[in-house]
Amino acid sequence: MVPKMTDLEIYKEVLQDSASVLRTAHTKMHIQMYVMKRTHRTSWVETLHIKSPRHNNWSVVVNLSQSASDVNIYLRSEDELGMTVWGILNTDEMPVLIKYTAHFFKRYRERMELEETKPAQIIKRFFRNNVRITPGYNESEENGLPMAAISMPEGLGLGRLSSEAPITVMKTFIPHERLSSNKRELVKMLNEDEKFQEGLVFINSARSSPAKTSGAART
């Protein structure tokens, strides 16, 4: 991953790379589940750091319990604007990447009033607390790029779609308590209204329910 790569090149690179990372993570999970059973532990939460065969450094948040398992993988990189973090969304048609910008995490820290100051700590906290997400997209804006709204356990992420590849660029974050009434209604539609369902699931979560998308809600 280098700054000069195009969105399409990054898209292909991340998808190819994530397959081997997930295999390694699942192997470690199976071993840990056996250890938990043998030692009578009821839960295990850990962040694994895995270097892929393509020399990318991935982080894998694993949350195991007796009833379920959650896995959240992400990749840190740099672009012309600074730090970038990549997540993966699996759809019926094709995988979609979610690009979290440095500005997104700046707003996340400020608006969640976090004590953490180091980027790695803030990123780790975000992915531990926002495994399950519900994405939605509204009508095109003046520049032709649809806006993106992603409902998260801690709030709402807002951004745009890339014009070059299946990538959603998250620009900013708003906690639930700071949402305006119309944005609260958007979150409700994304999470509850069946007519917005399009069969999207977050690939990072083994227990994610079908996510919902909006083709008309304004943000």
pLDDT of residue 215: 26
Cα–Cα distance measured from residue 149 to residue 218, given in angstroms and rounded to the nearest whole number: 9
Domain ranges of the chain: 7-212
* 150 bridge partner residues: 135, 157
This prediction has a pTM of: 0.76
Say whether pLDDT at 196 is over 70: no
Taking residues 72-90, what's their average pLDDT? 82
- Interhelix angle 119-129/102-112, rounded to 10 degrees, is 80
How many angstroms from the chain centroid is the CA of residue 60? 12
Band of the pLDDT at 65, cuts 50, 70, 90? confident
* HSE-up of residue 34 (Cα within 13 Å, Cβ side): 5
pLDDT of residue 174: 92
